[in-house]
Amino acid sequence: MNNCIIKGKISIFYCIALVKNIGYNEVEKWGEIMEKSAVRMIAQMIALKKIEVLLLKKYYEGNSPRFYLRDLNSGDLKEIKISGKYVEEQFVHYYFDDIEIDFCRIYQIVDAYGLSETLQYTKLVYDYDFLRQSYYDGNDLGNHYHKEHTSFKVWAPTALQMKVSIVKKDCTYTYEMQRINDGVFYAKIAGDFDNCKYVYLVRHHEGFYPALDPYAYSSSSNSLSSIIIDLDKVKIDLNRDSLPVLLNKTDAIIYEANVRDYTMYENSLSAYKGKFKGIYEEGLKTKYGNSAGLDYLVELGITHLQLMPIYDFATVDENNPEVLYNWGYDPAQYNVPEGSYSNDPNDGYSRVIECKEMISKLHSKGIRVVMDVVYNHMYDVNASAFERLVPGYYFRKNPDGTLSNGSWCGDDLNTDEYMVRKYILDMSKRWQQFYGVDGFRFDLMGIIDITTINQVYEMCSNYDNSFIIYGEGWNMPTNLPDEKKAMQDNHAKMLNISFFNDEFREVMKGGSSDFVLVNKGFITGNLYETEHAKNVVSGLNRYTRPDQSINYVECHDNATIFDKLYISNVEEGLSGILNRQKNLTIMTLLAQGIPFIHAGQEFYRTKGGIYNSYNTPDNINCINWDFRDIYKDDIDDIKKIIKLRKNNKCFRYATREEIEENILVENIDYKMLKYTLKQDSGEYKEFIIYINPSSFSFDYQEKEYSCIYGNINDNQIEPKTIVILAK
């Protein structure tokens, strides 16, 4: 914030350390940095009651026979006894034990020649005893507005000093905060600060640095400052009572969409393109009068809308969102909704109210909302409130002190640290209870630890027993032991968590990433996958329970089915490609497990051959609502299949025992599957589904069954078809 009043000289050493994120670990660079910055001494707490001082050898050869501890609050000066010393090539280390420090005070170390340096606490993030006594269990971090005053609490145990700087009517007011308990700074400021911007000013050495409030409810545009809002003004009925009962997770039918993609099409009649309001706008029609937008979702029959990231992300200019596009997997603030999706990103209330209204309206239509969360990395370590408030704590490190990079984004969150886990739990609680979301999809969940994921589920399911959590269970190369990773290989340690079943995807569809797109799967014509397909259809191929399997063949990542088939099945022509894709969507809906559909998959969405469209323009990513008209008949078939699944529990068995008792999948000559399902209630008592991706016809014997989907000619199952029989 340019108009903040910041006093004090900023240490060049600290600036370099912060920018390079060396975390005071890369000892071999210290001498060079100290020499260039004219810093001759570094003084730091390295453990409770233990101080380390470094003297540059070019300064008195690094020798000082005595050192003193000066209390800057009282002016007291006392000699401290050297307990250890060793000499490096460029500097000399001195150690001091049993030093009593009051962390509410600021100290200097003074050498025998009068050189002084502020005692820093940043290295204490590596001391277990210090962290243990600094953990904060309160639920009151952030700002708390009242008309007469606003209070602030922020956790920053290694900070020397903290201020809060508030902008009101273009004037900036800066207030000192007091260190209280458990590493928390506190201030209570008189006055009405409704909708005012603020930042914290944190001091770790000689200068103050602005930091956002990681617990604020709102923000100005482009994450420049936090905003104070009156929570009484954003109370909205979330319409949870309008949601149908969800007895089992396998009752869910998940539909993935992006707020911007879903509402941005140029021929769309939406008045709120790219906005939260566009998602819950009613009465939208396509060019030929078919339902679009919210009405289409209701008509389609899905149960859960999974929204790609709706928290504040970094690389879209919220004041000019049309300039750049991004999916949103570049988190800036987990605690506030994305400003580019609101009508006014600079008003503290707009993004909060519109996000809550969107969720409330979806609930009123019987649709639950799943939020895509990215608690594995952040867009910019050094710009994040985490690193500015508690340097070196929130991000996972490798043994050599560098940042762990399992996300391939440069910075993995250190989720198994107590206060990082607490933050994830606190934000999960906020998004569930304040905003009303009904589930979380965890991006790159394998970077997060098992304990954190299980605790999020326990907390959320205690509030709402229909809450669902699923994620990408890949084994990511983060600095965390494999046995602690929330990856699918550890599914038995997370029985309430579901995973994207990439085996289902690859077996049924074939290769998904760009270098294997030519590879076919069972439904797309590779009959060598027949036995594998038998296993994935049954829902028993990989996980302890069938409700741990998220069955999908398309999501926002990689090529759309249409673009993939245009490479792998191009010889079949357009009609053949469309038929294969429709069969893939049908089997996703009928297999045991939890079905997941990517928005537009049901009407052959294409991204023009772009396989990673995370930052490509709207014309690549947006939903083409003209396809809704062109492929209306195929959409009607998908709606029938969705209705069939919802009306018959045999497609939604939740336990292994139910499947083993009532489901039989048979391999017919390594060319076709016969999928038999039984149930004791529903529209029918028994189903037989023939899945024939081959070029061969097959006779069938079940004349007592009625054909409820597909065509049967001369008592034969035609090539490349799915036939559903019932009695």
At residue 4, the 3 state secondary structure works out as coil
**Two structure tokens written together for 555:** 């999501």
- The whole-angstrom separation of Cα 98 and Cα 635 is 74
Parallel/antiparallel/unpaired status of strands 663-668 and 712-713: unpaired
At residue 236, the 3 state secondary structure works out as coil
**Two structure tokens written together for 109:** 């170390």
Cα distances from 600 to residues 317, 603, 622, 698, in angstroms, run 27, 5, 10, 32
Contact partners, residue 615, CB within 8 Å, separation at least 6:
315, 324, 325, 326, 327
694 phi and psi angles, rounded to 5 deg: -85, 180
Q: Is 443 annotated as catalytic?
A: yes
CA angle, corner 330, sides to 326 and 333, nearest 5?
115
Judge whether 537 and 507 are in contact, CB under 8 Å.
no
- The whole-angstrom separation of Cα 618 and Cα 282 is 22
Give the residue among 441, 443, 420 at the shortest CA–CA distance from 498: 441
From the number of C-beta atoms within 10 Å of its C-beta (0-12, 13-18, 19+), residue 175 rates as middle
Cα atoms in the Cβ-side hemisphere of radius 13 Å centred on 41: 24
Q: Is 261 annotated as catalytic?
A: no
- The whole-angstrom separation of Cα 250 and Cα 468 is 10
Parallel/antiparallel/unpaired status of strands 254-257 and 107-111: unpaired
Catalytic residue among 230, 312, 412, 443: 443
What is the crossing angle of helices 418-429 and 450-463, to 10°? 30
| Region of residue 468 (left: phi > 0; alpha: psi -120 to 50; beta: else) | beta
Composition of the chain by helix, strand, coil, percent to 5: 30, 25, 45
Q: Tell me, rounded to whole angstroms, the distance of Cα 357 from its chain centroid.
A: 21
- The whole-angstrom separation of Cα 53 and Cα 308 is 48
From the number of C-beta atoms within 10 Å of its C-beta (0-12, 13-18, 19+), residue 302 rates as buried
At residue 658, the 3 state secondary structure works out as helix
Judge whether 585 and 695 are in contact, CB under 8 Å.
no
439 beta partners: 370, 468
Catalytic residue among 472, 602, 634, 658: 472
**Two structure tokens written together for 144:** 């708390």
**Two structure tokens written together for 590:** 């009928």
- The whole-angstrom separation of Cα 139 and Cα 321 is 34
- The whole-angstrom separation of Cα 241 and Cα 368 is 11
Which residues are designated catalytic?
443, 472
